[in-house]
Amino acid sequence: MSELTRITTPDGVFPAAQYSHVVMGTGRFVAIAGQLALDEEGRLVGEGDAEAQARQVFENLRRCLAAAGATFADVVKLTYFVTDTAHLPAIRRARAAHIPDDRLPAASAVQVAALVRPEFLMEIEAFAVVDG
């Protein structure tokens, strides 16, 4: 596991409540493609249910990170693509099950008109740094 440095509020930048402004690490860079609420057989989990979809997406992210020899502790950046910003609290609750508030990565949230299929409410990608 790479040692990560989080700078929650750099001088001159308005404080963030739900993410760190800057996360630095040394090691091997890992990019995890945007994950959707699909189970291991490709079935949608939680049609119309942002909570269920967020939990499945974070489980998929966990599995992808593990395949790269990483954990959520190594994540330096998350990007949330949502069809409605009303889904962000559900995402935050799912994230809290994996990432404590004192280790929040940098993050961006983008509302999009649609995802690859209309039943998907969110897609989340992750970037991590692990010992190389």
CATH value at residue 40: 3.30.1330.40
Question: Domain tally for the chain?
Answer: 1
Query: Could you tell me if residue 49 is inside a domain?
Result: yes
The pLDDT of residue 106:
95
Query: Could you tell me if residue 10 is inside a domain?
Result: no
Bridge partners (DSSP) of residue 22 are: 7
Closest CA to 111 of 120, 122, 119: 122
The pLDDT of residue 2:
67
Query: Which range marks the domain in which residue 95 is found?
Result: 31-130
The pLDDT of residue 50:
98
Query: Could you tell me if residue 5 is inside a domain?
Result: no
The pTM of the full predicted model, rounded to 2 decimals, is 0.92
Query: Could you tell me if residue 64 is inside a domain?
Result: yes
Q: Considering all CA atoms of the chain, what is the largest pairwise distance in Å, rounded to the nearest integer?
A: 48
Number of other residues whose CB lies within 10 A of the CB of residue 26: 11
The pLDDT of residue 16:
84
Are the CB atoms for 19 and 104 separated by under 8 Å? Answer: yes
The pLDDT of residue 22:
86
The pLDDT of residue 7:
72
| Angle between helix 50-67 and helix 88-96 axes, rounded to 10 deg | 40
**Residue stretches of the chain with pLDDT short of 50:** none
Burial of residue 93 (CB within 10 Å: 0-12, 13-18, 19+) is middle
Query: Could you tell me if residue 59 is inside a domain?
Result: yes
The pLDDT of residue 1:
62
CA–CA dist 90, 110 (Å, integer): 15
